[in-house]
Amino acid sequence: VEQHGVVDGIYRLSGVSSNIQRLRQEFEAQRSPDLSRDVYLQDVHCVSSLCKAYCRELPNPLLTYQLYDKFADAVAIQMEEARLVKIKEVLKELPEPHYR
């Protein structure tokens, strides 16, 4: 996405619905679609939209419900260095699949 998506709002804007569905079907069928196809390069937003949809549909969010309060506290720290240290500490508490 970032290699081909030199576009403002790449993670904010939605892709074309039909392209998102096509890409979803390719992932489900092949597990590794060719993202260099023109249809996806012309609508890089469909790739980022599918990534966001995947994260939304996870049964437990990537940053997990259990660690939500700890993440919220960490990002609220005013001093940048301390904030980054705390975020890294909380990241280490994630379950292994989430951490990877």
pLDDT digits (tens, 9 = 90+) for 54-96: 888 989 998 999 999 999 999 999 999 999 999 999 999 999 9
Give yes or no: residues 53 and 71 share one domain: no
| Structure tokens given for 73 | 């506290």
The overall average pLDDT reported for the chain is: 86
Give whole-number Cα distances, 29 to 22, 23, 24, 26, 43, in Å.
11, 10, 9, 5, 21
How many separate domains does the chain show? 2
Within a domain: 5: no
pLDDT for the residue numbered 21 = 93
- Give the domain range for residue 79: 67-98
pTM summary value: 0.64
Q: What is the chain's Cα-based Rg?
A: 17
Within a domain: 43: yes
Within a domain: 7: no
Within a domain: 44: yes
Within a domain: 48: yes
Residue 34 CB coordination number (10 Å): 9
**Count of positions (residues) in the chain:** 100
Picking from 92, 9, 3, 7, the residue whose alpha carbon sits closest to that of residue 52 is: 9
| Structure tokens given for 28 | 């489900």
pLDDT for the residue numbered 95 = 93
Within a domain: 40: yes
pLDDT at 10 over 80: no
